[in-house]
């Protein structure tokens, strides 16, 4: 059934953190979830508390190294290959790790932004995370170490005594507050980005959800939108999801093996025959 839906083409993929667990990045709510061990940063706490910002950047400074080293897994590669074959018409990801693009996917809509960029909340200037990483290293000589647990947003779990004394840097253009170019909890996804995702969903032959529990409305709304428009929904995830009642196909299975098997079932690429 899943292969039949995908073979018809015009598939729009909606991916979540579960797709990246096989790359060593734990998800929040699945089998590798750490939500109970590290509460995600909210926009309100980040902007309202210098101590919260210091804690975030200290933890994220270590966590970013883990994210930056992660490599695409078989699931990411399969999605990119399906796109290359012309079967995937669009990719919406809730992930901020950039692994779809690293696998070769094009035109990925990053619903929640990307950790590889930093934005100034005062002047709006964007810069690379590598640039910020160098500045933070220079501002904190001798402050180093490895994180035992890293969440999907790059937030590492650290003891409070390691956070104390960490120096945060501000925008090197205007002195404003720097924030990763991601949507924090309590922050809204930019409306234009949401409209783009709705348009992709409306034009889909099928919506394929990969590795998302759909607990958060930001992704679940597209499943509801597809169902309202009579667009078939297929979900591959470890465990039940909020969208199962709207799905024509649900698979509780490992993402990498399932998507690699899907490619095999679809047969060789037309370009290879």
pLDDT tens profile 34-44: 444 456 789 99
Beta strand pairing call for 113-120 and 126-128: antiparallel
Binding residue numbers for NAD(+): 16-36, 94-97, 211-213, 237-239, 255
User: Among 19, 85, 70, 68, which residue's Cα sits nearest to residue 253?
Assistant: 19
Non-local CB neighbours of 254 within 8 Å, separated by 6+ positions? 22, 238
Annotated binding site: 16-36, 94-97, 120, 123, 171, 174, 211-213, 237-239, 255
- The DSSP element (H or E) to which 109 belongs, if any, is strand 109-110
Query: How much is the pLDDT for 10?
Result: 98
- Say which residue the tokens 């409305």 belong to: 217
Position 38 scores a pLDDT of 55
Write down the pLDDT at residue 256.
97
CATH numbers and ranges of domains, the chain: 2-272 (3.40.50.1220)
Q: What is the pLDDT of residue 35?
A: 44
Sites in the chain below the pLDDT cut of 70: 28-39, 145-149, 151-152, 270-273
The percent of residues above 90 in pLDDT, for the chain, comes to 79
Q: Which residues are catalytic?
A: 112
The predicted pLDDT at position 33 comes to 46
User: Which residue stretches of the chain are H helix?
Assistant: 2-7, 43-48, 50-69, 74-84, 99-102, 129-139, 160-163, 191-202, 217-228, 255-266
CB distance 212 to 15 below 8 Å: yes
Annotated binding site for Zn(2+): which residue ranges? 120, 123, 171, 174
């Amino acid at each position: 059934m899943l292969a039949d839906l995908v073979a018809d083409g015009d598939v729009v993929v909606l991916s979540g953190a579960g797709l990246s667990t096989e790359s060593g990045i734990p998800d929040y709510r699945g089998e590798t979830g750490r939500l109970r061990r590290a509460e995600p940063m909210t926009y309100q706490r980040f902007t309202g508390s210098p101590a919260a910002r210091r804690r975030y950047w200290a933890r994220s400074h270590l966590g970013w190294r883990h994210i930056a080293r992660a490599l695409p897994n078989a699931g990411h590669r399969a999605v990119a290959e399906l796109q290359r074959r012309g079967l995937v018409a669009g990719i919406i990801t809730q992930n901020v790790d950039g692994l779809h693009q690293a696998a070769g996917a094009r035109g990925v809509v990053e619903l929640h932004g990307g950790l590889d960029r930093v934005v100034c909340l005062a002047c709006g200037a964007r810069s690379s995370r590598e640039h910020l990483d160098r500045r933070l290293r220079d501002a904190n000589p001798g402050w180093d170490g490895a994180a035992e647990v890293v969440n999907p947003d790059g937030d590492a779990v650290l003891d409070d005594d390691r956070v104390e004394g960490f120096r945060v840097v501000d925008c090197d253009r205007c002195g404003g507050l720097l924030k990763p170019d991601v949507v924090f909890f309590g922050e809204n996804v930019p409306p234009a980005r949401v409209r783009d995702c709705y348009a992709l969903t409306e034009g889909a032959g099928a919506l394929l959800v990969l590795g998302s529990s759909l607990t958060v409305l930001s992704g679940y709304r597209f499943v509801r939108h597809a169902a309202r428009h009579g667009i078939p929904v297929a979900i591959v995830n470890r465990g039940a999801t909020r969208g199962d009642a709207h799905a024509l196909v649900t698979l509780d299975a490992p993402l990498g093996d399932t998507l690699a098997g899907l490619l095999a079932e679809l047969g060789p690429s037309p370009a290879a025959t």
